[in-house]
Amino acid sequence: MRLVFLGPPGAGKGTQAARVARHLGIPHIATGDIFRQAVEAGTPIGLRVKEVMDHGELVSDEMTNEVVRERMALDDTENGFVLDGYPRNVEQALAFEENLKELGVKLDKVIKFMVNGPAIVQRLSGRRICPLCKTVYHFVTHPPQYDEVCDNDGTRLVKREDDQPETVERRLEVYGKLTKPLYDFYDERGLLHQVDALGTTNQVFERLIGIIQDDH
């Protein structure tokens, strides 16, 4: 099963992608992990990515496509994958389509996580992170044992700038403009499905499994 999860920041894609991947026995592939693995492995493209990131610059579409192509060629993707965080635009989607064609495989489904703006603002504004160990907490869904401090090391938790309500709203606006053509791209190919991403983690997971197992 070859799946792509799409949705705005805070929609829960990463959490569900990891869980679905474990359920299906296939790898969960996230672009952040791919970049880190390529850098750690010291591959030629990984070294180029490291140089860009060290300068605080954004990794280009071309470089992102190349890193994904390298990751897709590994043996563990033979039976499928759950990909989240890529593609981010139509140009990347076209490159990914060519990549899969070269490998002789096709996507099975692209699942769009449906969640409204106010819910995302509420989700992300309740999120805190440990600056030391990077563990992410949420005051509703995953609160720390003791208020405002990390369970692992007792460090005071902080709210990331990206999770401020005003910043979240701007990110959502930018995301909507950039990704509508991407949704249209996959819809035209008959691959796009939608999942209601509101509710508990278990409820969303059950909906996803229903979509994945549906033959249509």
How far apart CA 157 and CA 131 sit, in angstroms, is: 7
Query: Catalytic pick from 22, 106, 159, 160?
Result: 160
Residue 128 pLDDT exceeds 80: yes
The structure tokens listed for 83 are 């990909």
Active-site residue, 48 included: no
Query: Catalytic pick from 2, 13, 19, 123?
Result: 13
pLDDT digits (tens, 9 = 90+) for 142-186: 789 988 899 999 999 998 776 777 777 776 777 777 788 999 999
Mean pLDDT, residues 115-142 taken together:
79
pLDDT digits (tens, 9 = 90+) for 19-47: 999 999 999 999 878 888 888 888 888 88
Share of the chain above pLDDT 70, in %: 96
19 or 120, higher pLDDT? 19
Average pLDDT value over all residues in the chain: 87
Q: DSSP per residue over 119-174, as a string?
A: HHHHHHHTEEE-TTT--EEETTTB--SSTTB-TTT-PBPB--GGGSHHHHHHHHHH
How far apart CA 37 and CA 30 sit, in angstroms, is: 11
pLDDT of residue 173: 75
Query: Catalytic pick from 2, 19, 127, 128?
Result: 127
Query: Catalytic pick from 36, 50, 69, 88?
Result: 88
